[in-house]
Structure formats: structure tokens, C-alpha cells
Amino acid sequence: MSFADFRGSGPFVEERPVLSGDRIADLPDLEGELEVYLGGGESGLYRDLIALLEDVYPEFNALIRGFGAAEAANTILTEGESTPADVFWSVDAGSVGAVADEGLTGTLPAEVVDPVPDEFHPNDEWVGTAGRARAVPYNTDVLSAAEVPDSVMAFPETAELSDAMGWAPTYGAFQAFVTAMRVLEGRDRTETWLRGMVDAGVSEYNDEFLVSNAVAEGEIAAGFANHYYALRVKAARPEAPLELAFTGGDAGALVNVAAAAPLASSDDGDLARTFIHHLLTVEAQEFFATRTYAYPMLPGVPPVGGLPPVDELNPPALDLAELSEVQPTLDLLRETDVL
Amino acid sequence: MAPGEDATRPASPVADREEEPDSEATAGLLLGAAAVAVAAAVLSPVLWLLLRAAETGIAEAWALATSATALQVLVNSVVLVAVVTVASVVIGLALAVLTVQTDLPFARLWTVAAALPLVVPSYIGAFAYASAFGPQGELADLLAPLGLQVPTIYGLPGTALVLTLFVYPYVFLTTRASLLSFDATQLEAARTLNHGYRSAFRRVVLPQIAPGVAAGALLVALYTLSDFGTPAIMGYDAFTRVIFVELGTFGRGRATVLALELLGVTALVLALESRVGPEESTGHGSAASTDAAIKLGVLRWPAMLLPALVATLTLVLPVAILGVWLFRSGPAYAGGGIAFEWAYGLNSVTVSLLAAAATVLLALPVAYYAGRSDSVAAELAERSTYVGYAMPGVVLGLALVFFGTRYAQELYQTIPLLVFAYVVRFLPQAVGTTRSSVLGVDVDLVGAARVLGEGPGGAFRRVTLPLIAPGLAAGGMLVFLTTMKELPATLILHPTGFTTLVTYIWRVQEAGYYGRAALPALVLVAVSGLSMVLLLRVEGTDE
């Protein structure tokens, strides 16, 4: 196995800088059988990465169970101490947090969690493995970087953005963003913001890839989307007049992460911890960065597309577990006729 | 559900025959015990719900169950069930009468087309509809250049529409079975007595097929209560969706209370149905006539519009959307671990066959007991098999996780426990069809076998079993095709590393590879479709 096996392909790979962080060769070998509960999405890629690790270590064998993130967490919560799982790895940090809250997770050593910024491991029970940042894709033919407001709350009143914005209200990540706004700014200000956006003539799209694509096409000047959709557009069309802006310290700058935790009842805790350590190696982080355009958790592995590394982002101070309170958000979106 | 149900003969209770009271009584006792044991087994997951709810605390659980939100959800669910059931009866009854009793052209083709929507998983149907009728959907894209606006179909209208389109076949199938065993000479007799068709239908046909219609309507109502995918995708706050949201926020206590409330509604529906559905009795009709009873005349060709419209909405549209997905590119990155393997199809078929066999085996004592005994125990045993059918798959899955990890570690995450989950979910489908055919067996035939020296077991094997075999087969096939498409319990309880068509579809769909979901979805529909054609064959053998 070489580093190239972990790295993806495509236009972003040529411009990769020198990366720093723990490497697989620095870590103890993975050996034995490990049962991993995988929560949700991208499980195809997570399965791929685990298969690569199995290739590196012929003595290592992973049993993988795929679920939705919430189902996986509820299953572990119901199994309790009897869970056959050694590791819980989920695309949604809230689901891992829920398992940790019940005292079902073990702890991770400092050498595993310390390289990751504190926001993405509030304690040593779980650690973020890759992130997705809320971002503002904008069309560089229409707007300059300076014309995109620093505060997400200012968007409805920004004249340049009137009748030129797009969003995807049915999409889960957008709803998490509104949930974050509700938690950070309160319900009333969120309602005012939603109504302001509707009055400013925001266009609705089915998903955030379509939002990002519409920005690249010049159909709209800017939009709200997870950062990787713009990168997907750029991967297909490197010349597209599309860049990403990040707001500062508010819901618009939310970073949600996939997270992993060792389970307390595992009969091979060392293997579980070493496995999670492997998810935070330069190789694994480069895998996430170049194949899914996810945000790497190591400052020494910057994201593709010239975006700032994870420690230069300015996410809001927010317990990611609170993002699971989607129901009041849906009520609000319906009340304001956004949904 | 109701082949052979007719009311031409009075009941002959088993107790009438006095010979060999000992072996008769022992056999009856064993049968009753077996039926009660099966009912108790499939009711056992309810225990877990009660345990969980108790953890929440009685006061809190009560406050939650009677909160404004919960009451709103209750009203929403009841409205949804009523709309879907009525609409399904209208469509199912109309299509059954058209295909069985009239000279509709290509009646065979329309029969298959009318039954097939049952094989389309409702979550795929809902996705197809959301994708077609969404604000930026395929239809909107298609019709926009023509200046046409597509009405969006979220909320109650969308949920009711999609559910009706994919579950009405329950009514169609049960009504069709009743019509097939209905003695058409009675209808002719009524008409020679100067009743118009409508009057004859109301006075002669309807009373006799009512049990069949009611049985189908019951399955529709309970399926509607238990379906997760459609209300979730269409954004309608029915019980299942709210339970799902609670589980998503790890409010298992609240989810449990809502699930219990849902089961309360189920019990109500069951009680209601047993009052509406007239008492059936045993007997046999004269050979059913398949000659068209009604000549449609000039309406013969236009009448095809109805089945054609339904087939377009239920089959052509979803398959077309799957086709669009097949050719649409996924995300720009190269994903893996998701190459389709034909073994997944084999896994689905294997586990569904096991589920069908186990379900039929367990349905037999319950159905036989219910068909032959008027006792309260028999009725209760039969009714209680329906409870699991209305239990959302996720709730059942978690109940069995609890059971498995606490009391049956060796069975946890194995095929037997997964198959048990399917039995709990789908037992009533087999109980219904089997019971109807038990009712259709002439008890005098069994008596004759006994007089000729057969014991109760021998008489059952040599006389009853061959006669009820079509009912058993029909039940088995219904279970087979519903197991093929079951998702939530499969996802929670499958053995690690055991991938089926639906878990694969779920996996690629989660990752955004709609294109890759299309092929296994089409395989699923094709395999289940084949079993549906077989089912219709089995039911048609008494022609």
C-alpha cells in the first residue's frame, strides 16, 4: 500500500501541499477482529477506507454494520453494555454524543484527540473524523469577496443579494443550519431572518448541489450550501466563476462533523482506540479530503480547493448534539412558508 | 384473504361430532394451545414497549400521551387512515369488479397490473413522487418549457395519494378472491327478477364480498398506520413520522409512548373491523363462474381508462423515475464499497422464503383454530396477530434488539431472529388467507374421513390440508413479497455482513447514488412481481 492508494484523483490532487500529522507507519499495527457500527451516509467511502486498512494489515478484519445515524445510536442505546460493537463511527456527531451521554463510550488517549481542534472533541469520549462546513458559494463574476456579508444575519438586508440568492429548505444540512440559528439567536430572530430572506426573493432548490450549480451558472449570485458541493461543481468545471465565503462565528459558519468513539464494553479497547487513531492519520484525512472533499480534522491536512485549514475556521460555540432538535425548526419553516 | 368465503351454508361447529371425544378434545386442546402460543410470541414485543414506557414514568407518559402535539398526531393519523382506507376500497373494489365480473378487454393483463403496485416499496414510491412532483422535480423540468405548473404534493394530499396508490391492491386482491368464489348464477337470478345491476350488486354481491373487502381494508388501515417512509418523505405528522423524529433525537421514552398510543389506535381499528366484517360461516359455493356477468357494451373500451390510469400512476411513473436515476450521474467523487452483487438478490430471496415458510407454519394453528372455533380465545388469538402488523418496523426492531441482547444473545443478529421479526410483522397476511380457506372447507368432508377411520391428524392431512393449500400458498406469497421490501427491521436486525436488496438500496441512496439504487430496485420489483403473478395463478386455479 502506498500513499497514492488513499489519495483520490481529479483536478484538486495536483495542487496538494506537503501534509503533516501522524502517519500509519508511526502507529501500532491493527490486528484482530473489530466490529464497527457505521452510522449513515458516505458509508460506501467509509467502507472503502476500512477495506484499505484491511489491505495494509492482513491480520486485521473489520465487521461492519451499516445503519442510519440515529438508528445506529438507538440500537447501541438499547443494547447497552451487551453491544457487540467495538467502535461507533457516524456521520453525525450528535448521534455519537447521545451514546456518550449514556456512559457507553470509553475514552481516547491524548495523542489521538489533541491534534484535533477542541470544538470537534468536546471531551475525550469521541473525536471528529471529518467535517462539513456551512458556506456561501458566490459567483465571482457578480460579487466580490468583500460584498458577501461576514454575518449570516445581514443577508436579508444586503442590496446586492436581493432577488439573487438560493437555498434548499428540504435538505437536512440546511435544516441543521436553521436549527443552529434557532439555538444561537433565538426563535424570533430566526423567524425574522427567514421572512426577510423570503421577502428578498430567495429561490428554492431541491438540494445544495443544485444551489451551488446555479451559482456557477450565474442563475443566482450566492447561496447557502455545504462547502463540498461547490468543490464538486469545480471538480467537474475548474473554470466555473465560483468561490466559497465563510461567515464568522454564527450559524452560517456551522461545522458539523462525522465522529468516532470506542465503546466501553468492547473486549478489545486497544484495537478500538488504535483503529480510531488510524482515522486521524494523514493518509485517512487525505482520503476524506480528496475523495469526498470533506474538511480534514488535522490542521496539517488542509481541505482541497484552496479553502482555509480547519483551525482557521470560525465556527459558532454550539453543542453539536443540539442540532438533532429538528422538529421545532420544521415547524418554523412551515409557519414561514419556507417549506 | 378471502378465497372461498361465502355464506351459503350454516356453521357446523366441531363440537357437533361426538365420536372419539378424547382424541378430538386433545387435538382441539393442542390446537388451541398452539394458536395461543403463537399469538403470545408475536405479542411479546409489546412487553418491551411497556417496560420502556414504565421507565419514562407513568405521570410523564400520560402527560405526553395527552399533550396537544400527541392529540394532533392522533387526529392526523386517524384522518390519514380514513382517507387512505376509503380511497383504497373505492379503487380496489372498482378494479376487482371490472376485472372479474365484466367483459373488460385484456382483463388478465389488467388483473396483474392492478395487483402489481403492492410490490413497489412505498418509500420508493414516495421518493419517485417527491422527485416527480417536487418544486424542482422531473415533471416540473419536463413541463416548464410548456409553461405548465406542476402542483406540489406534500402533506396530507401527498401522503394519502402515495399510500393509496401502493396499498389499494390489498383490497383489490381480497375482493377479487371473494368475487371469484362468488356464485355468479345468484347475480343472474337477481337480474332475471328485474333488478338492475346496481341493485343486484347492492343486494346480492356486496353482502357476500363484504368480508373480503373488509379484510383488505383492515390490511390497508394497519399498513397505513405502520408505514414510516411515506409520511416522512411527504412531511405529514402521522404517528410514525413523529416517532421517527423522537428516535432521531434519541427520545426513546417519548417514542415508546407514541408507539403505544399507535398500538391503541390499532386495537381500535381491529375492534371496529370485527364489528363491520359480517360473521363468515363454513360451506362451499357451487363452482364459481368466470363468465362475464356484466356486458359493458359501448363502455367496454373506455372502461380500460381506469386500470390504465392507475397503472400509469403506480407502475409507469415510478419505473420511469428509476430509469431517469439509472442514467443520472451521482456525486462527482468515486465511491466504493457499493458495487452491486447479485448475491444481495439471493439473500433477499432466501430470507423472504424462510419468512414465508415460517409465517405459514405459524399461521396454520391460529387460522385453523379461528376458522373452526367460535371461542373468545380463538378470536383473540387471531386478532392479536394483527398487532405486529401495525407496529412500525423500527419500533419492532428495537424491541427485538432489547430482547436479543438481554435474553437471547446467541440469537442476536442472526437469521432466526430476523425471520421472527418478519413473522411478527406479516403473520396476519397468512392468517387471513388461510382462515378464509379453512372456512371454505366443507366440514362434512372431514367428517366423512373420520367415519372412514382416519384420526383427527390423518383427516387434517388427507382432506383439509389439500383443500386449504391454495390459501396457505397465497398467504406465503404475500408474506414473501412484503418481506422482500421490508426495510427498517431488516436494517436493525440483519446479521452483520448480510446485505439484502433493500439494505443495499438504502445504503447507496444514503450516499446519494440514486443511479445505483435503480438497478436493485428494479430487480426487487421484478422478483416480487413474479411472485405476484404466481399468487394470482394460485388464486385462479379454482376457475
Given a cut of 70, is residue B332 above it in pLDDT?
no
Q: Are both A167 and A28 inside the same structural domain?
A: no
Between B302 and B15, whose confidence is greater?
A: B302
* Averaged pLDDT for residues B311-318: 90
C-alpha–C-alpha distance, residues A96 and A51, integer Å: 23
> What integer pLDDT is reported at residue A288 of this predicted model?
93
Contacts of B333 in chain A (CB under 8 A): 8, 10, 45, 232, 235, 291-293
Instruction: Please give the single-letter amino acid code of residue A12.
Output: F
* Averaged pLDDT for residues A120-138: 94
Rounded to the nearest 10 degrees, the angle between the axes of helix B239-248 and helix B68-101 is: 130
Q: Residue count of chain B, please give it.
A: 543
Q: Are both B61 and B204 inside the same structural domain?
A: yes
Given a cut of 60, is residue B281 above it in pLDDT?
no
> What integer pLDDT is reported at residue B143 of this predicted model?
67
Q: Are both B76 and B170 inside the same structural domain?
A: yes
Locate cell 361426538: which residue?
B18
* Averaged pLDDT for residues A268-274: 96
Contacts of B248 in chain A (CB under 8 A): 70, 324, 326
> What integer pLDDT is reported at residue A211 of this predicted model?
93
Q: Are both B412 and B481 inside the same structural domain?
A: yes
Given a cut of 50, is residue A286 above it in pLDDT?
yes
Nearest to A8 among B334, B491, B497 (CB): B334
Mutate to test the interface with B, among A55, A71, A87, A232 (most CBs of B within 10 A): A71
Least confident of A261-275, B131-145, B323-337, B346-360: B323-337
Q: Are both A28 and A164 inside the same structural domain?
A: no
Report the candidate in B310, B318, B303, B400 with the shortest Cα–Cα distance to residue B115. Answer: B310
Q: Are both A324 and A208 inside the same structural domain?
A: yes
Within a domain: B194: yes
Q: Are both B210 and B121 inside the same structural domain?
A: yes
C-alpha–C-alpha distance, residues B307 and B303, integer Å: 8
> What integer pLDDT is reported at residue A174 of this predicted model?
92
End-to-end CA distance of chain A: 48
Contacts of B252 in chain A (CB under 8 A): 74, 77-78
CATH number for position B168: 1.10.3720.10
Within a domain: B360: yes
Q: Are both B374 and B463 inside the same structural domain?
A: yes
Instruction: Name the 3-class secondary structure at A47.
Output: helix
Confidence of residue B71 (pLDDT cuts 50, 70, 90): confident
Within a domain: B336: yes
> What integer pLDDT is reported at residue B402 of this predicted model?
87
Is residue B515 within 8 Å of residue B330, measured between CB atoms? Answer: yes
Is residue B404 within 8 Å of residue B420, measured between CB atoms? Answer: no
Mutate to test the interface with A, among B69, B249, B406, B409 (most CBs of A within 10 A): B249
Q: Tell me how close the Cα of A37 comes to any Cα of chain B, in angstroms.
A: 10
Confidence of residue A99 (pLDDT cuts 50, 70, 90): very high
Cα torsion B303, B307, B310, B311: sign: negative
Split into its structural domains, chain A has a count of 2
Q: Are both B180 and B106 inside the same structural domain?
A: yes
Between A27 and B130, whose confidence is greater?
A: A27
Nearest to A326 among B134, B137, B248 (CB): B248
> What integer pLDDT is reported at residue A33 of this predicted model?
96
Nearest to A78 among B398, B488, B496 (CB): B398
B407 touches chain A (CB under 8 A): no
**C-alpha torsion A293→A299→A301→A305, nearest 10:** 50
Q: Are both A123 and A178 inside the same structural domain?
A: no
> What integer pLDDT is reported at residue B292 of this predicted model?
58
Confidence of residue A173 (pLDDT cuts 50, 70, 90): confident
Range of the domain at B342: 328-543
- Residue A219 phi/psi, 5-degree rounding, is -65, -40
Given a cut of 60, is residue A237 above it in pLDDT?
yes
Cα torsion B525, B528, B534, B540: sign: negative
**C-alpha torsion A274→A275→A279→A280, nearest 10:** -10
Q: Are both A187 and A126 inside the same structural domain?
A: no
> What integer pLDDT is reported at residue A257 of this predicted model?
93
Q: Are both B270 and B333 inside the same structural domain?
A: no
Least confident of A312-316, B401-405, B428-432, B442-446: B442-446
Residue of chain B minimizing CA distance to A10: B333
C-alpha–C-alpha distance, residues B263 and B85, integer Å: 18
Nearest to A232 among B332, B337, B401 (CB): B332
CA atoms within 13 A on the CB side of B110: 26
Subunit contact A74:B413, Cβ cutoff 8 A: no
Mean pLDDT of chain B: 81
Q: Are both A54 and A79 inside the same structural domain?
A: yes
> What integer pLDDT is reported at residue B224 of this predicted model?
93
C-alpha–C-alpha distance, residues A182 and A167, integer Å: 17
Given a cut of 50, is residue A243 above it in pLDDT?
yes
Given a cut of 50, is residue A67 above it in pLDDT?
yes
* Averaged pLDDT for residues A17-42: 91
Q: Are both A247 and A300 inside the same structural domain?
A: no
Given a cut of 90, is residue A84 above it in pLDDT?
yes
Beta bridge partners of A24: none
Cell output for B218: 383492515
Given a cut of 70, is residue A31 above it in pLDDT?
yes
Given a cut of 60, is residue B3 above it in pLDDT?
no
Confidence of residue B141 (pLDDT cuts 50, 70, 90): low
Within a domain: B541: yes
* Averaged pLDDT for residues B453-476: 83
* Averaged pLDDT for residues B438-450: 80
CA atoms within 13 A on the CB side of A28: 13
For chain B positions 322-381, those within 8 Å of chain A (CB to CB) are 331-338
Confidence of residue B200 (pLDDT cuts 50, 70, 90): confident
Least confident of A21-25, A172-176, B248-252, B472-476: B248-252
Q: Tell me how close the Cα of A40 comes to any Cα of chain B, in angstroms.
A: 7
Cell output for B117: 403496485
Report the candidate in B225, B264, B220 with the shortest Cα–Cα distance to residue B429. Answer: B220
Cα torsion B86, B89, B91, B93: sign: negative
> What integer pLDDT is reported at residue B539 of this predicted model?
67
C-alpha–C-alpha distance, residues B192 and B432, integer Å: 35
Locate cell 392529540: which residue?
B71
Confidence of residue B514 (pLDDT cuts 50, 70, 90): low
Contacts of B509 in chain A (CB under 8 A): none
- For B163-175, what is each residue's pLDDT tens digit? 999 999 999 998 8
Q: Are both B221 and B365 inside the same structural domain?
A: no
> What integer pLDDT is reported at residue B10 of this predicted model?
43
Given a cut of 90, is residue A41 above it in pLDDT?
no
Task: Give every CB contact of residue B151 below 8 A, 6+ residues apart in sequence.
Answer: B133
- Confidence (pTM): 0.81
> What integer pLDDT is reported at residue B286 of this predicted model?
44
Least confident of B221-230, B291-300, B408-417: B291-300
Task: Give every CB contact of residue A183 below 8 A, 6+ residues apart in sequence.
Answer: A318, A322, A325
Nearest to B136 among A43, A75, A210 (CB): A210
> What integer pLDDT is reported at residue B277 of this predicted model?
55
Report the candidate in A331, A156, A127, A160 with the shortest Cα–Cα distance to residue A252. Answer: A156
Q: Are both B186 and B278 inside the same structural domain?
A: yes
Within a domain: B294: no
Tell me which of B308, B343, B376 is where a domain ends: B308
Subunit contact A48:B488, Cβ cutoff 8 A: no
| ipTM passes above 0.90 | no
* Averaged pLDDT for residues A188-200: 96
Given a cut of 50, is residue B282 above it in pLDDT?
no
3-state SS of B277-295 is: CCCCCCCCCCCCCCCCCEC
Subunit contact B250:A74, Cβ cutoff 8 A: yes
Within a domain: B166: yes
> What integer pLDDT is reported at residue A52 of this predicted model?
94
- For B17-65, what is each residue's pLDDT tens digit? 444 556 777 878 888 899 999 999 999 888 888 887 777 777 877 887 7
Split into its structural domains, chain B has a count of 2
Between B201 and B362, whose confidence is greater?
A: B362
Percentage with pLDDT > 90 across chain B: 25
Within a domain: B18: no
- Residue A244 phi/psi, 5-degree rounding, is -115, 135
Subunit contact B492:A75, Cβ cutoff 8 A: yes
CATH number for position A110: 3.40.190.10
Q: Are both B196 and B66 inside the same structural domain?
A: yes
C-alpha–C-alpha distance, residues A11 and A1, integer Å: 23
Report the candidate in B340, B362, B470 with the shortest Cα–Cα distance to residue B419. Answer: B362
A263 DSSP 8-state letter: B
> What integer pLDDT is reported at residue A133 of this predicted model?
95
C-alpha–C-alpha distance, residues A223 and A96, integer Å: 30
Cβ-based neighbour number of residue B76 at 10 Å? 20
> What integer pLDDT is reported at residue B14 of this predicted model?
44
Between B457 and A219, whose confidence is greater?
A: A219
Range of the domain at A232: 132-254+319-335
Least confident of A91-100, B153-162, B323-332, B453-462: B323-332
| CA distances to A37, A186, B116, B359, B525 from B355, in Å | 26, 50, 21, 6, 18
Subunit contact B335:A35, Cβ cutoff 8 A: no
Mutate to test the interface with A, among B496, B499, B513, B514 (most CBs of A within 10 A): B496
**C-alpha torsion A168→A173→A174→A180, nearest 10:** 180
Q: Are both A308 and A330 inside the same structural domain?
A: no
For chain A positions 28-87, those within 8 Å of chain B (CB to CB) are 35, 40-48, 51, 63-68, 70-71, 73-75, 77-80, 82-84
Nearest to B332 among A170, A205, A235 (CB): A235
Least confident of A233-242, B145-154, B447-456, B502-511: B145-154
* Averaged pLDDT for residues A101-125: 93
* Averaged pLDDT for residues B290-301: 72
Q: Tell me how close the Cα of A250 comes to any Cα of chain B, in angstroms.
A: 23
Q: Tell me how close the Cα of A129 comes to any Cα of chain B, in angstroms.
A: 17
Q: Are both A291 and A219 inside the same structural domain?
A: no
Q: Are both A73 and A13 inside the same structural domain?
A: yes
Q: Are both A126 and A7 inside the same structural domain?
A: yes
> What integer pLDDT is reported at residue B513 of this predicted model?
66
C-alpha–C-alpha distance, residues B341 and B347, integer Å: 10
> What integer pLDDT is reported at residue B139 of this predicted model?
67
Mutate to test the interface with A, among B233, B246, B333 (most CBs of A within 10 A): B333
CA atoms within 13 A on the CB side of A148: 22
Burial A129-140 (b: 16+ CB within 10 A, else e): bbbbbbbbbbbe
Q: Are both A119 and A216 inside the same structural domain?
A: no
Residue of chain A minimizing CA distance to B130: A206
Q: Are both B243 and B338 inside the same structural domain?
A: no
Report the candidate in B14, B6, B7 with the shortest Cα–Cα distance to residue B370. Answer: B14
> What integer pLDDT is reported at residue B21 of this predicted model?
57
Q: What is the DSSP string of B377-438?
A: HHHHHHHHTTTGGGS-HHHHHHHHHHHHHHH-TTTTTSHHHHHHHHHHHHHHHHHHHHHHHH
Instruction: Please give the single-letter amino acid code of residue A194.
Output: L
Helices (H), B116-168: 122-133, 138-143, 155-167
A309 DSSP 8-state letter: P
> What integer pLDDT is reported at residue A280 of this predicted model?
97
Nearest to B401 among A40, A75, A324 (CB): A75
C-alpha–C-alpha distance, residues B298 and B296, integer Å: 6
- Residue A60 phi/psi, 5-degree rounding, is -105, 135
Within a domain: B155: yes
**C-alpha torsion A258→A262→A265→A267, nearest 10:** 130
Confidence of residue B333 (pLDDT cuts 50, 70, 90): very low
Residue of chain B minimizing CA distance to A73: B250
Burial A30-68 (b: 16+ CB within 10 A, else e): beeebbbbbbbbbbbbbbbbbebbeebeeebebbbbbbb
* Averaged pLDDT for residues B127-146: 69
A8 touches chain B (CB under 8 A): yes
C-alpha–C-alpha distance, residues B422 and B349, integer Å: 13
C-alpha–C-alpha distance, residues B131 and B119, integer Å: 19
For chain B positions 35-74, those within 8 Å of chain A (CB to CB) are none
Confidence of residue A291 (pLDDT cuts 50, 70, 90): confident
